[in-house]
């Protein structure tokens, strides 16, 4: 089986994973390529020149063939997410109906966005049926930038995905949220994403932008004093999201799973457990992945999970 290549794009970093599917996912290489320019973490614009230079350098130095690539966009703050209920229609008509109905749900010029959706459930009301959808709207400008970058690298895009969908794939692989409501949190240097999963279906997702680079760069220092205000704000936003879900769905979150660069740092899992009363487990040992012993899987969880 041929090697696969995945690239995680964020406005503050680019991460790459090469791997091969089999009985285990064999990860051949993981790499973060630096972006020279500093950007605002709440901006979703990419610096195309810096990303091009960084990726081209990686491809040359690692002698990577320019085969098909999967691109995943992480920490997108301008991603709009809404729950929408539509009359039941066949699969091939959902998108057209969604396009027609979406302006009343999204307070933006929807023509400047690309829509995607996941079916949460089919609701039966007597003889009638309705579709309950989780709908994503992502700015066309972001997708156009990604296509431009990959075209200039002479790489063919196999798929452009978003972080929450990739986390859902990881949840499915690990059996997270099977017959229960579970939350998966990805905490990185510039954002935190929460995804609530039940039976492989995303019920709710939310991304919060944060500047946590100092926490990442000092995560192994015992004498580093973490910004308590920032840490509490992060925890409080997760707690508020859980409470919102409880009120809306009248369902309890059974377990919380934490991954990402900062998942093992600053006692986040224990603090979250105490605040919510929910068991929180750190995902940093994944048995289905075969890779070098010195690779911190949680640092590359998004590009690695894109290979699944």
User: Taking Cα atoms as reference points, which of 26, 9, 79, 108 lies closest to residue 295?
Assistant: 26
Q: To the nearest 5 percent, what fractions of the chain are helix, strand and coil?
A: 35, 30, 35
In degrees rounded to 5, what are phi and psi of residue 272?
Answer: -65, -40
Average pLDDT of 251-276? 94
**What are the angstrom distances between the C-alpha of 63 and each of 57, 58, 92, 153?**
10, 8, 41, 14
pLDDT digit string (tens) for 279-294?
Answer: 999 997 888 899 877 7
> With 60 as the cut, is the pLDDT of residue 44 above it?
no
Instruction: Return the bridge partners of 121, or none.
Output: 132
pLDDT tens digits, one per residue of 12-34: 889 999 988 888 899 988 999 87
Residues 6 or more apart whose CB falls under 8 angstroms from that of 191 comprise: 10, 41, 74, 75, 77, 207, 208, 209, 210
Domains of the chain by residue range: 3-77+142-307, 80-141
Residue ranges of alpha helices (H) inside the chain are 48-61, 91-101, 140-152, 163-174, 213-217, 228-249, 268-276, 301-306
CB atoms within 10 A of CB 264: 18
What does the block give as tokens for 55?
A: 């990726």
Examine the pLDDT at 173 and tell me if it is beyond 60. Answer: yes
Cα–Cα distance, 222 to 181 (Å, whole number)? 35
pLDDT, residue 5, reads: 92
For the stretch 108-144, pLDDT in tens is 888 999 999 989 889 998 888 999 999 999 999 999 9
Please determine, for residue 43, whether its predicted confidence score (pLDDT) is greater than 60.
no
Question: CATH fold of 3-77+142-307, please?
Answer: Nucleotidyltransferase; domain 5 (3.30.420)
Assigned CATH class of 80-141 = alpha beta
62 pLDDT more than 90: no
- 245 pLDDT band, cuts 50/70/90, is very high
Question: What proportion of the chain, given as a percentage, has pLDDT over 90?
Answer: 57
Q: What is the pLDDT of residue 187?
A: 96
| Nearby residues of 198 by Cβ (< 8 Å), 6 or more positions away | 177, 180, 181, 182
Q: Kindly report the pTM of this predicted structure.
A: 0.90
């Amino acid at each position: 089986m041929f090697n696969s290549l995945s690239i995680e794009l964020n406005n503050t970093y680019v991460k790459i994973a090469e791997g091969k599917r089999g009985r285990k996912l064999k990860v051949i290489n993981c790499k973060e390529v630096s972006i020279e320019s500093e950007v605002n973490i709440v901006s979703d614009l990419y610096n195309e020149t810096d990303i091009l230079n960084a990726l081209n350098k990686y491809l040359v130095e690692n002698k990577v063939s320019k085969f098909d690539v999967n691109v995943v966009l992480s920490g997108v703050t301008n991603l709009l997410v809404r729950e929408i209920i539509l009359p039941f229609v066949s699969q091939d008509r959902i998108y057209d109906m969604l396009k027609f109905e979406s302006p009343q749900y999204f307070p933006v010029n929807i023509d400047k966005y690309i829509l995607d959706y996941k079916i949460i459930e089919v609701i039966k009301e007597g003889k009638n049926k309705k579709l309950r959808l989780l709908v994503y709207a992502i700015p066309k400008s972001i997708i156009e930038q990604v296509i431009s970058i990959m075209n200039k690298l002479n790489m063919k895009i196999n798929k452009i995905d978003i972080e929450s969908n990739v986390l859902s794939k990881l949840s499915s692989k690990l059996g997270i949220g099977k017959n229960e409501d579970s939350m998966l949190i990805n905490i990185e240097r510039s954002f935190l994403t929460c995804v609530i999963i039940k039976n492989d279906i995303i019920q709710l997702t939310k991304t919060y932008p944060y500047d946590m680079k100092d926490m990442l760069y000092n995560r192994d220092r015992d004498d580093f004093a973490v910004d308590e205000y920032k840490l509490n704000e992060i925890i409080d936003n997760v707690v508020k999201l859980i409470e919102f879900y409880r009120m809306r769905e009248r369902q309890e979150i059974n377990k919380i799973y934490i991954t990402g660069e900062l998942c093992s740092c600053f006692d986040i899992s224990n603090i979250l457990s105490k605040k919510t009363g929910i068991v929180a487990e750190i995902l940093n040992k994944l048995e289905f992945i075969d890779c070098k012993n010195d690779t911190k899987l949680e640092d590359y969880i998004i590009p690695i999970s894109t290979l699944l």
